[in-house]
Amino acid sequence: MDRTRKENRPGLPAHSAKIPAHVGDGPKRVPVSQLPQSRVPGGAAQAQRVLCPSNLAQRVPVPSQAPKTAASNQKLSHNQRMQQPQPTCVVQSSSRPQAPNNNEKPHHVPVSANQPEKEGTSKPKNQETKKRQWSLDDFEIGRPLGKGKFGNVYLAREKQSKFILALKVLFKSQLEEAGVEHQLRREVEIQSHLRHPNILRLYGYFHDATRVYLILEYAPRGEVYKELQKLTKFDEQRTANYITELADALSYCHSKRVIHRDIKPENLLLGSNGELKMADFGWSVHAPSSRRTTLCGTLDYLPPEMIEGRTHDEKVDIWSLGVLCYEFLVGKPPFEAETYQETYRCISKVEFRYPPFLSEGAKDLISKLLKHNPYHRLPLKDVLEHPWIRENSTKSPASRVSEAAGSQKSEANNKT
């Protein structure tokens, strides 16, 4: 498909920390409210893949009370290109860090292991323990990686450590106009506390008078969706590897009471070794109470309990894992249809067909994930032990590797 995507060629030009105000027109998701409403059951503005001018399918998100903020790095949408609001301010850094604005208190952000805190010999001891305050002057800005609804993503390098990362630049005026400040805070709070090899790291954030900056892990190989479009579909081994990594990452999230709620190929990135990185926590929620009612995500991946207006919990992610497994193997989602009504009907009745080339093992896994009753869906720990996964996956879940390492360390301590 002809979808404009970000590039992921290595290399970083040594620029000064200058953020252009605009990086050309970039594609973005289009709210369904801009599409014909007669197709939506009950008159509600929902979403599905629609036809763009080139007659190619694209996904459109289900709108909620507040639009989704983009927080995954290097993420671009697909077919439609829409004019973005152009900021009028350009941030230009000097060779020396500038004094902070007295009217604005900078945020303290966590420092990663790759970004050591700068030491000052004249600082009192209690000040040395404070967390690092980042500013734009700490980074060299490289080429643009992508463009989202509220800003742009750039390849960047931290000057002191030479650490390569992705810098997401969001414009405050656009966030305020859309009324999504609270969503951004929640997204940052959740993603910054997650530590898993298959979850994209959010190292920290800072802001100035006009922008918010997210310091993100750089995923050199880009989106899984881009790979899927290039290859049309994945073979069983590659699919099983991705499902293993994603199931393990979701299991970790659920153990922290975090529900992602928007699992799909566009929100999955690839690291330097081809490992999967779960990203874009814009619809995620920390839900200790377990039950939620917000309708969110993308129509093709919505579970029956969401479209039927019932409460939902972390099992919505298990449904999405089944949809994802099907799309990886077949090349399209199982409930894709011509109209909104038909997609809704197929999801509600769990009505879809398997192509003849799909193996019995794959069919068995998908059928156990796509259950109308959330409590009948295969638990994530059982997904990792499913015969088809064990037969085809060459990846070991990160949790299993950690347990093995811990066991070996314990044995070594006992021997000594």
Q: What digits encode the pLDDT tens for the residues 223-247? A: 899 999 999 999 999 999 999 999 9
Q: Is 266 annotated as a binding residue?
A: yes
Fold of the 133-218 domain: Phosphorylase Kinase; domain 1 (3.30.200)
Backbone angles phi, psi at 322, to 5 degrees: -65, -40
b/e sequence 16-26, b meaning 16+ C-beta within 10 Å: ebebeeebeeb
Measured at the CA of 281, the angle between CA 275 and CA 286, to 5 degrees, comes to 120
CA distance 271 to 222: 8
**Max CA separation in the chain (angstroms):** 73
Question: How many other CB atoms are found less than 10 A from the CB of residue 287?
Answer: 16
| DSSP label at residue 235 | -
The per-residue pLDDT for 292 is 52
267 close to 274: Cβ distance less than 8 angstroms:
no
Q: Is 2 annotated as a binding residue?
A: no
Catalytic option among 138, 208, 248, 262: 262
The per-residue pLDDT for 145 is 85
329 close to 379: Cβ distance less than 8 angstroms:
no
Low-confidence ranges of the chain (pLDDT < 50): 1-16, 22-58, 60, 63-129, 404, 407
pTM of the model: 0.67
DSSP state letters, 354-377: --TTS-HHHHHHHHHHS-SSGGGS
* Among candidate residues 315, 295, 297, the one with its CA nearest the CA of residue 373: 315
CA distance 117 to 233: 44
The per-residue pLDDT for 148 is 76
CA distance 65 to 360: 42
- The CATH classification number of 222-395 equals 1.10.510.10
CA distance 185 to 176: 12
CA distance 387 to 361: 7
* Among candidate residues 100, 65, 137, the one with its CA nearest the CA of residue 283: 65
- Which amino acid would we find at residue 230? K
Please report, for the chain, the start and end positions of each structural domain, with discontinuous segments joined by +.
Answer: 133-218, 222-395
Q: Is 267 annotated as a binding residue?
A: yes
Helices (H), 288-357: 304-307, 315-330, 340-349
Backbone angles phi, psi at 257, to 5 degrees: 65, 30
Q: Is 409 annotated as a binding residue?
A: no
Q: Is 217 annotated as a binding residue?
A: yes
CA distance 168 to 215: 7
Measured torsion, CA atoms of residues 284, 285, 286, 289, in degrees rounded to the nearest 10: -140
Beta bridge partners of 147: 152
Q: Which two tokens stand for residue 383?
A: 């997904």
Backbone angles phi, psi at 375, to 5 degrees: -75, -10
**Is 262 annotated as catalytic?**
yes
Question: How many other CB atoms are found less than 10 A from the CB of residue 327?
Answer: 22
